Structure 1
């Protein structure tokens, strides 16, 4: 037999083997799709057959179609009703009145969903309800309303620096990225309160613009890693120097984790400090000391777990709050009537000498400001990603019995723009929240539908700090400045992409403004 014949024979064998593998793979894929559509425990639930057959349906929209699966889910609900399958293994419900009922159950997270994030041992990413309950319990005192009220001087300090910088810029025609300005404030506040140190973005020439870009890139990668976990594993294993060059969001996060890790090790290596942390029952100075001084078992106090916790709290809490403040400010400055009413109401509140703004506790008593804040939070969009949870018992929704152990999700953003709850949902209308005033406190029948921070035991742990910054940042900006919009319109402020939280159109330059002192150019807000 000649060499040519041997080579031809081997090639034929390999070709045949590959053909058999491909045919087997195709046969398995088709069989699996048929099973999922017709024989799966969720087969009787309505929805797209393609969504039920394969995860690639979701991947197509969230990885290759600009993170748009949230809008496909909305479209499927309009076609099939309030209960649908969004992929082979989960069920999605859209019914604003069911949100509280679902998320106040003792729910686990879905492991498939959390693998898109790089902090698996953080409380917010914890799978099991019972483990989450203990981790959350260790931190609850740190973020209680009383604790946040005690941190008001930190917020006042950062806002004073912001205002000093804006005072110098006012009238100069310098163009600012408004979200970067607020992100500098929220990141410095959150890290100062949580870590005891900050990146000092508030004094940075570009505010927090680079951090904004990096954060958005990191959030955009979650759906990619969820669909292609090997990519996430490879990128996360890169050395810091290589990651900073090839994947800046990952490199930046690695450097953040590294700095947090140094602080954790420093605390742990100080016997005297550790002894005092264990003895003192008061709220600690940092979240790391708070966790180390808790009753959590030793295996819950590893360096990596503390790093994960610190990184998730600081990154998620700063970005979401900054975006909500940005959107609120944008709509105020676009609506002269709203701006005038706010200034009239804010003029009734005392600002203590040396502070740039009144305290949160004073501001939250103002009915119109409260209505504006609620509408701003709603318009900001909350979480665009659905929130899948698993219950160990069947869940009954109307005539549907969802089997125990099934991932069940709702999407906060779809609640916040539901036309049946909020007529003209894309219109900024604070008046919709002023339907009830009880004993000087603004309440509303709509309050139950403010789901931007989640509900139940897994709601946002930093909700009080977020609201404190919302009230104080918005009040400071409104009382002191007019903002002229620069090459910016509603498309830059309307959530269109699911980056876990809100993402706007690709190519947006952000919400850009020119700052004027409110006495310098009345009516500059556009």
Structure 2
């Protein structure tokens, strides 16, 4: 009898908590004044349904909800999403903590990209900045060139037979490195040697070594566990992002001969062995890369920020209703300090007020003064103090790979269509249709 009474009391208390908490979330929560569906305000199960059951679809549902509720939207009990690229700088620049909730999915709390606290992030990032600087990437260009040559040799082996090749797999393999570096440095540290025998004096030491030996970092920031997590996240970011951009770029180059011809014409203005610094001066090549990065969408998961101060959101002229071109002007909204808010890369990169016909691969949108202005809204590498460390290395890889393959080989798409590079599922990065085998092509030598 006592057990039944305890059980009954527990159920009653639980139900009372649900009722009280529901009322609080709907009517007394600090963001209860923000528009959005009641279910999203009540429970995270709403997000769970679209992201897990469907799966990976909540980011698209959010875009649909903006059509109904306007440019500011409450998407979970605690979180706001904004569909207005005019508010990007407010959200992503200045001193901002990351929203902890989505970071847990990465399971690498020691990685710089998964660090929520802004001050700790700054400390960790500063230890890595010298390695990823443009100057250091230039000193390491010979290593990138060696990898590009290996890539070209693999493609050439298929060209000899005019056989099919999976470009997506090839680009992933090209981008993937650093797995063995960390274990090697650990062995060096444990053996007591410095491991710097043959290093070029102009090169910054290896990325992990630069952290292990950096005495400006406190001891807890130089533990091997923390370093392993840093390495795992850097390897993930350094592999997925450039390989996806390359797959998207080559699909659209092969699907649009006029774009490919124009790119080849420009590449003919520089030597065959042109360096990265020569290639990055070619406007159309860089426009192709910008467009590939835009349609790769970078980190597709919501990258929420928490401001230390109260913010005011007033829709800008960029907050257009998709397809109408009409400014979606509404009243201003107060956003309490510490409220998680985000603008997804899907929202930013498909804003028709900035990118007309947003799902069309159009490098010309990045040319001229208007193209330079659009770079303000490029979120493939995020913005502000949290901007991706590897942007220079990624640009070097993309320039050298595109130049090498476009100049040397003719390719024809093989059993590949637009859905093999489309954004259909959000798994932290943009994923295409289920069952896609990636971008495949038949390859032969250019004559």
Q: What TM-score, normalized by structure 2, do the two folds share? A: 0.90
Which of 50, 55, 60 in structure 1 is aligned with 2:39?
50
Structure label with greater radius of gyration: 1
Residue 33 of structure 1, CA deviation:
1.8
Alignment match of 1:26 (pick from 10, 15, 19): 15
Q: CA deviation at 1:285?
A: 2.7
SS in 1 for 2:300: coil
1:508 to 417, 427, 436: 436
Aligned to 1:134: 123
Select which of 170, 181, 184 maps to 1:263: 184
Which whole-Å CA distance do the structure 2 matches of 1:351 and 1:393 have between them? 53
Q: Distance in 2 between matches of 1:40 and 1:158?
A: 54
Equivalence for 1:243? none
Q: Name 1:376's counterpart in structure 2.
A: 292
Question: Structure 2: how far apart are the matches of 1:282 and 1:21?
Answer: 68
Aligned to 2:281: 365
- Aligned equivalent of 2:225, options 304, 309, 329: 304
How far residue 117 of structure 1 moved from its aligned partner, in angstroms, is 1.2
- Residue 329 of structure 1 aligns to a residue whose secondary structure is helix
* Residue 148 of structure 2 is aligned to residue 159 of structure 1: yes
CA distance in 1, matches of 2:50, 2:10: 28
The reply to whether residue 413 of structure 1 matches residue 346 of structure 2 is: yes
Offset at 1:99?
A: 0.9
Distance in 1 (CA, whole Å) between partners of 2:272 and 2:243 is: 23
Answering whether residue 400 of structure 2 is matched by residue 467 of structure 1, we say: no
Contact preservation (8 Å) 2:130, 2:204: no
| Other-structure match for 1:494 | 422
Q: Show the 5 A alignment for 1:422-441.
A: 422-436=355-369
Partner of 1:448: 376
2:207 is matched with which residue?
A: 287
Find the aligned partners of 1:147 and 1:461 in 2 and give their Cα distance.
12
Provide structure 1 residue ranges, at least 5 long, that are not aligned to the other structure: 1-9, 198-259, 353-357, 438-442, 520-526
TM-fit CA distance, 1:383: 2.2
How much does 1:281 deviate?
11
- Report the RMSD for the aligned CA atoms in angstroms: 2.2
Give the TM-score of the pair, scaled to structure 1.
Answer: 0.77
Q: What are the Cα deviations for residues 256-309 of structure 1, in whole angstroms up to 9, with x where unaligned? A: xxxx4x3353232243429x89xx997543112111232111121111111111
Q: Secondary structure at the match of 2:106?
A: coil
Match of 1:86 in 2: 75
Aligned partners of 2:160 and 2:445 also within 8 Å: yes
CA displacement at 1:407 relative to structure 2: 1.0
Q: Does 1:349 align with 2:275?
A: no
Deviation string 1:305-326 (CA, Å, 9 cap, x unpaired) is: 1111111101121111100111
Kept in 1: contact 2:297–2:379 (CA 8 A): no
* Counterpart position of 1:124: 113
Q: Distance in 1 between matches of 2:185 and 2:224?
A: 7
Higher relative contact order (CA 8 A, sep 6+): 2
Aligned-pair CA distance for 1:154: 0.9
Displacement after TM superposition at 1:473 (Å): 1.1
Query: Which of these residues, 178, 187, 203, is aligned with residue 167 of structure 2?
Result: 178
